[in-house]
Amino acid sequence: MLLWYNIVFATGTMNCCIYVTFTVMVLLEGPLRMSYNAFLLKRIRRKGIAFFISASSICFIILITLQRYEKEDEFWIPKLVFGVVSKLMVQSYMTYMFTIASEVSPTFFRARAMSALLAFGNLSSTCAPLILKMIGTNTPVFALLALLSANLIFFLPPVIQADLPNNLDDAERLALTAKKLFAF
C-alpha cells in the first residue's frame, strides 16, 4: 500500500501534466487488468504476486533514477511509461492478495483473516501520506521494501489444486508434514 501511495504522489513528476498521466493510467489500467486477471488468477497465485510486486518496484526505481539524472524533461516519455507500468503492476497484485488470503486461511478463521487484511490496509492508507510527507516521494525505500516482501511471499504454502486446511488442527498437520522450506 505504501508503494501505491508513493507512486500516486510521485505522479506529478512523471510528466509535464498530472492530468495526462492520470488519463493514461486510467485508460490502460481497466482493459489490461480485465484481460489478464481473468486468465492469471486461475493459474498462479504466489508467483503472480511476487512478479507484480517485483516488476512494480523495479519500474519505480527506474523512474526515480531517471528523475535524478535528467536535465529539463529529457526523459519525460520513459518516466511516464515506467510510472504508468509501475502503478498498473501495483494495482494488479492487490487482487491477488485478497484471493490468496482467503485461500490460505482456515475456514473457521477466514472472515477474521480478511478483516485483519482490510484493517491493516486501512491503517497503512492512513499512515502512508504522513510517512511520505516526512520521507518524500522520490526515495526508493518503499520499492526496496516491496522487493523484500516479494521474496517473503514464497514462504506461503501452494494453494492451486492443493488440499487446504479447514481448521487449526488441519493447519498444524499440514505444517508438520511440509518438507520444503520454500513453497515452490
Nine-digit cell string for 161 = 489444486
153 assigned to some structural domain: yes
Note the pLDDT of residue 125: 77
Quick check: is 59 in a domain? yes
Q: Residue 137: phi, psi to the nearest 5?
A: -95, -10
**Residue 89 resides in a domain:** yes
134 Cβ contact list (under 8 Å, min separation 6):
none
Total Cβ atoms within 10 A of residue 27? 11
- Residue 136, number of CB atoms within 10 A of its CB: 12
Distance CA 11, CA 78 (A): 13
Distance separating alpha carbons of residues 120 and 171, to the nearest angstrom: 23
Phi then psi for 41, rounded to 5 degrees? -65, -25
d(CA 151, CA 145): 10
CATH of the domain at 55: 1.20.1250.20
pLDDT 10s per residue in the chain (184 long)?
Answer: 567 666 766 766 666 677 777 787 778 777 777 777 667 766 676 777 788 888 888 988 898 888 888 887 788 888 888 888 888 888 777 767 777 777 777 777 778 878 887 888 788 778 877 877 787 777 788 888 888 888 887 776 666 666 666 677 777 776 666 555 444 4
Query: What pLDDT does 117 receive?
Result: 78
Domains in the chain: how many in total? 1
Q: What is the pLDDT of residue 184?
A: 46
Closest Cα partner for 171 from 115, 114, 104?
Answer: 104
Residue 184 counted as domain residue: no
Q: What is the pLDDT of residue 1?
A: 58
CA-CA distances (angstroms) from residue 16 to 62, 72, 80? Answer: 18, 11, 9
Q: Domain range holding 107?
A: 2-177
The length of the chain, given as a count of residues: 184
